[in-house]
């Protein structure tokens, strides 16, 4: 760590977790615990709990949890060191100057410098938009119906027509390495050490991450030049696959769904019309990472892409990606207008909301587009269509869902449901889809069982029991050493739990979480402490303890046997394995 553990702990103690989280989430007290709507996933019933006693939070809905550092890291997208600085500043604790090498300091500061250079560039673009040089860009935005308030909200700007205008401005404030990594400038091939601007003569759209930090830009050219839209390249801040334009605003809309559109102007126009739960992908096909990001905030998505052929194809590509992340998908069809921006300007927000309410389910949209490929008046074409529909229906795992769509499709295309259902069964048998799906389910189920019931779960379970009960710890420590935890992460947790009990006979969960700097590790530790292990009586609990301890010890013996070459040592392990079969841990031993 960059700072002493004592200081880390002091900062945590002075930042009461209820006070900190209350500044982000409205909490209501119930008994000794506070509850509110989880800020990390979309929900209507509060399942997000904050314990003042334990100085921890936990969501019963999505399973996230941790201490005050974990919360700030997760919510603000901070590193551990950034969270320490943030919370220290909050309680007016002055952090000591950290003695690190110049190289380490550069690495620590570099990300911050990239954020700053983007912020500086955005301000410069905004200044240019308001200057005489940006008059035609401002007029373009005004003609598109963008108000002054919206212009400021989205930080819109203008990049000058001069090819190194921004570079000359930024080079006075930032060194060459920062400029080169920012993606804002491009090296001159014929003049080493010189750069020209990536964006020029374009309306500029700053791209924010979910925490309102500018991570990149999009630029729309003024005039008939290509490319029409240009985005920042991949940088240490900007990953197009993992960000969505407008999500910083949409995530706090608290609507039941998120609308996905194609372009910047669609997002801006809808937002200005009061439809604030809207995002756009960033000049790339929709990605699995973007679907996972949306899943954090909602379970329901409405796709509202352009009405042209490219928009339809993009929607068809996005539907299975979104479904793979457990999102319910509907598709909005815009008739007579090319995109949401044009529709909202002509028909207004109420008409657009009506479209949302009547959006087609993702599956029916796929069926309809499949039907558009055939002349359904022709018997042969109609038969081919039905066969492809049958294959599509086999993709649905839920029998109820399949039956509902069988009925809807039969009604829409004037086909007898029984005949279509029969075709589905025949298609499944002929293609092997049904049997193969069952086999895949069986394999996946077995994989999950093996991993869940394996050594990882055993280590996690025994740590949960030990960390939550000192009497169980006193018994288990006689049989299970810290070094016997095979997984490095769980071994470290075991070490901290064992030492806490030996030092003070109690485990302070929030303190142990501080021992881990990575967000995902902090969440895993919180998961151990918050895990519920169900048992009906002490006899059942004793059985759980025995099974898990034996499993861990057996795995440890097996691991050691694979690396030992000495015969006598190997014989000792064989004996230990045999003795393990007769081991019985009684919870009365304590």
453-580 maps to which CATH number?
1.10.860
Query: Which pLDDT score, from 0 to 100, does residue 224 have?
Result: 79
Query: Which pLDDT score, from 0 to 100, does residue 445 have?
Result: 47
What one-character-per-residue DSSP string does 99-163 give?
Answer: ---HHHHHHHHHHHHHHHHHHHHHHHHHHHHHSGGGHHHHHHHHHTT--HHHHHHTT-EEE-SST
Q: How far is CA 521 from the centre of its chain?
A: 16
Question: Three-class SS of residue 48?
Answer: strand
User: Considering the chain, what percentage of its residues have pLDDT values greater than 70?
Assistant: 93
- Domains 104-238 and 247-357 agree in fold: no
Cβ atoms of 584 and 543 closer than 8 Å:
no
What one-character-per-residue DSSP string does 209-268 give?
Answer: -TTS-EEEEEEEESSS-S-SEEE----SS--GGG--BTHHHHTTS--S-EEEESSHHHHH
Domain ranges of the chain: 5-90, 104-238, 247-357, 374-444, 453-580
Task: Report residue 582's pLDDT band, with 50, 70 and 90 as the boundaries.
Answer: confident
Cβ atoms of 25 and 64 closer than 8 Å:
no
Query: Which pLDDT score, from 0 to 100, does residue 450 have?
Result: 44
Q: How far is CA 444 from the centre of its chain?
A: 23
Cβ atoms of 138 and 157 closer than 8 Å:
no
Fold of 5-90: DNA Primase; Chain A (3.90.580)
- Tokens of residue 284, six digits: 């790339």
369 has pLDDT over 90: yes
On the 0-12 / 13-18 / 19+ scale of CB atoms within 10 A, 515 is: middle
What is the tens place of the pLDDT at every residue in 189-239? 888 888 999 999 999 999 998 878 899 999 999 987 888 999 999 998 898
Return the closest-CA partner of residue 461 out of 352, 371, 543.
Answer: 543
What is the tens place of the pLDDT at every residue in 522-540? 999 999 998 888 888 888 8
Query: Which pLDDT score, from 0 to 100, does residue 107 have?
Result: 57
Query: Which pLDDT score, from 0 to 100, does residue 436 have?
Result: 45
Q: Which residues contact 573 (CB under 8 A, 6 or more apart)?
A: 557, 560, 561, 564
Fold of 104-238: DNA primase DNAg catalytic core, N-terminal domain (3.90.980)
**Domain 247-357 class in CATH:** alpha beta
- Tokens of residue 456, six digits: 């990882």
pTM of the model as a whole:
0.64
Average pLDDT over every residue of 480-507 = 92
Return the closest-CA partner of residue 66 out of 532, 518, 509, 531.
Answer: 509
Q: Who has greater pLDDT, 512 or 193?
A: 512
């Amino acid at each position: 760590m960059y700072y002493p553990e004592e200081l880390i702990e002091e900062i945590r103690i002075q930042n009461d977790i209820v006070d900190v989280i209350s500044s982000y989430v409205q909490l209501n007290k119930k008994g000794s615990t506070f509850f509110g709507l989880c800020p990390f996933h979309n929900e209507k019933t509060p399942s997000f709990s904050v314990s003042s006693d334990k100085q921890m939070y936990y969501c019963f809905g999505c399973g996230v949890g941790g201490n005050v550092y974990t919360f700030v890291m997760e919510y603000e997208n901070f590193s551990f060191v950034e969270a320490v600085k943030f919370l220290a500043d909050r309680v007016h604790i002055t952090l000591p100057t950290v003695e690190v090498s110049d190289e380490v300091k550069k690495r620590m500061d570099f990300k911050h410098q990239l954020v700053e250079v983007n912020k500086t560039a955005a301000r410069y673009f905004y200044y240019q938009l308001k200057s005489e040089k940006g008059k035609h860009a401002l007029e373009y935005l005004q003609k598109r119906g963008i108000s002054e308030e919206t212009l400021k909200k989205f930080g819109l700007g203008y990049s000058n027509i001069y090819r190194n205008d921004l570079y000359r401005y930024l080079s006075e404030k930032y060194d060459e390495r920062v400029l080169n990594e920012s993606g804002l400038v491009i090296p001159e091939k014929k003049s080493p050490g010189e750069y020209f601007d990536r964006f020029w003569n374009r309306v500029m759209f700053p791209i924010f991450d979910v925490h309102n930090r500018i991570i990149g830009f999009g630029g729309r050219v003024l005039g008939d030049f290509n490319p029409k839209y240009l985005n920042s390249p991949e940088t240490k801040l900007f990953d197009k696959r993992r960000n969505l334009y407008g999500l910083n605003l949409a995530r706090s809309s608290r609507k039941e769904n998120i609308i996905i559109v194609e372009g910047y102007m669609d997002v801006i126009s809808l937002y200005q019309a009061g439809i604030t739960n809207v995002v756009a992908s960033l000049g790339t096909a929709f990605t699995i990472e973007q679907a996972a990001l949306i899943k954090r905030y909602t379970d329901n998505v409405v796709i509202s892409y352009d009405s042209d052929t490219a928009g339809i194809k993009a929607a068809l590509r996005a539907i299975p990606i979104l479904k793979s992340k457990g999102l319910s998908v509907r598709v909005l069809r815009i008739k007579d207008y090319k995109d949401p921006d044009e529709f909202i300007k002509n028909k207004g927000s109420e008409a657009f909301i009506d479209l949302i309410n009547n959006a087609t389910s993702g599956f029916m949209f796929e069926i309809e587009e499949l039907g558009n490929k055939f002349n359904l008046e022709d018997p042969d074409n109609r038969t081919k269509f039905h066969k492809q529909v049958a294959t599509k229906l086999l993709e649905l795992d839920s029998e109820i869902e399949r039956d509902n769509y069988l009925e809807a499709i039969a009604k829409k295309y004037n086909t007898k449901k029984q005949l279509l259902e029969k075709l589905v069964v025949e298609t499944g048998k002929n293609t092997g889809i049904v049997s193969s799906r069952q086999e895949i389910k069986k394999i996946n189920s077995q994989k999950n069982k093996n991993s869940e019931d394996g050594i990882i779960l055993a280590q996690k379970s025994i740590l949960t029991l030990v960390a939550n009960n000192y009497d169980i710890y006193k018994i288990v420590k006689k049989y299970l050493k810290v070094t016997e935890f095979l997984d490095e992460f769980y071994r470290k947790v075991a070490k901290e739990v064992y030492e806490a009990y030996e030092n003070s006979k109690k485990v302070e969960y929030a303190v142990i979480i501080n021992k881990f700097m990575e967000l995902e590790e902090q969440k895993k530790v919180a998961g151990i402490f918050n895990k519920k292990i169900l048992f009906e009586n002490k006899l059942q609990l004793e059985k759980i303890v025995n099974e898990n301890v034996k499993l861990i010890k057996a795995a440890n013996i097996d691991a050691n046997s694979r690396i030992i070459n000495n015969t006598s040592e190997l014989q000792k392990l064989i004996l230990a394995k045999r003795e393990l079969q007769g081991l019985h841990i009684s919870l009365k031993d304590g």
